[in-house]
Amino acid sequence: MKLGYFMMPLHDPTKDYHQALAEDTEAIILADQLGFEEAWVGEHFTSAAEPITSPLLFMATLIARTQRIKFGTGVLCLPQYHPAVVAGYAAMFDHLSEGRFIMGIGPGGLPSDFELFGVMDADRNAMMVESIDMILKIWETEPPYNITNTFWNARVEDWAVDKLGLGRMVKPFQKPHPPIALSALSPNSGTMRFAGKRNWDPISANFIGAWSVASHWRVYDDECRLHNRVAENSRWRVARSIFVAESNEEAENFVMNPGGSFMHYYEYLFDIFERSDLKPAFVAKLGDDANELTANGMVDSFVIRGDAQTVTNQLLEFHNQVGGFGTLLMTAHDWTDKARMRQSMELMATEVMPSINKVLPTSNTD
């Protein structure tokens, strides 16, 4: 199993913005030093708690400051801007990073962003599909362009002047394009079915139960079979909230602290889910009463915590519950205690992962 890092990121909304960016930067540099394979960064425009408005811009500042870690957008919310903009920015980032880029895409997930961009009542899934198809067409073809669709058009005909280079769009560094990934939250996710249909990589969120995570793979695998492909679960990424400490008692006290970063993380999500009437999708166990869902209960159910051995055991149990996956994405939480959060990442990389990989088979595609 490989280890990656996923940050929404989610901070105390009163935290100084410059400090938040500095901490997020430090976390990814540390992840690279510790041998994490990937770093994923979210995109949100209208949240002081989730303050990175451009993951590509943020990650571009980290290319020269890291050695090998790959960068993933988690995700580019495609309904919120013209596909040609994404095509241009993503291709440029792919070159700047010399191919250390995984293009995570999605329909978006923050209601206040939907309101800002006027897509609250739009068919955002259809917009996402149209957008990525348009992006791929731009990358795969040469001008003149005249692409007409339902939501967007792209035309460069009159000013497609080859000898001047006019009309040409930048092509990605990776050929034919960067790997594409889709993230999923809901049980039996249609997004996972679409990922299977298009042969793209699946990602499962950290704030859902093992039963829901397992449903993602069943849907993805089923869709791959319909298209005569074998679904390789080495391509599947699963995110989890994890805290590793020197002792179980220390981990329990830190994670369950009412004023701590884990509690704030899930209180924030719980409030959004409640306002959006989405609580049934986030119960810890299939059949649980969504009316009894609480932020405290989400922390208790979804945060894997303890000393290195306890976390190893919990992750192996989770791995067996969901059926096996290729990359574990350790989720970032606010650095309310920088020393402990850094230590958690260090213990995860140097003690937990080696222990896990001594147990798991070298091939994870069965």
Give 361's pLDDT tier (boundaries 50, 70, 90): confident
pLDDT of residue 364: 45
Mean pLDDT of the region 126-138: 99
- State the amino acid at position 56 in one-letter form: L
> How is residue 93 written in tokens?
């980032």
pLDDT of residue 171: 98
- State the amino acid at position 330 in one-letter form: M
> How is residue 55 written in tokens?
């993951």
pLDDT of residue 326: 98
DSSP helix/strand/coil, 240: strand
The full set of domain ranges for the chain reads 2-135+173-249+306-359
Distance CA 76, CA 56 (A): 9
pLDDT of residue 366: 40
Mean residue pLDDT of the chain comes to 97
Spatial CA neighbour of 108 closest among 194, 65, 46: 46
CA distances from 53 to 58, 117, 261 (A): 9, 13, 21
Give 117's pLDDT tier (boundaries 50, 70, 90): very high
Q: What are phi and psi of 187, to 5 degrees?
A: -60, 145
pLDDT of residue 362: 60
Mean pLDDT of the region 294-304: 98
pLDDT of residue 365: 39
Per residue in 171-225, pLDDT (tens digit) is 999 999 999 999 999 999 999 999 999 999 999 999 999 999 999 999 999 999 9
Residue 114 CB partners (closer than 8 Å, separation 6+): 108, 120, 124
Lowest mean pLDDT among 62-66, 227-231, 281-285: 281-285
Q: Which CATH superfamily is domain 2-135+173-249+306-359 in?
A: Luciferase-like domain (3.20.20.30)
Q: Kindly state the percentage of the chain with pLDDT values over 90.
A: 98
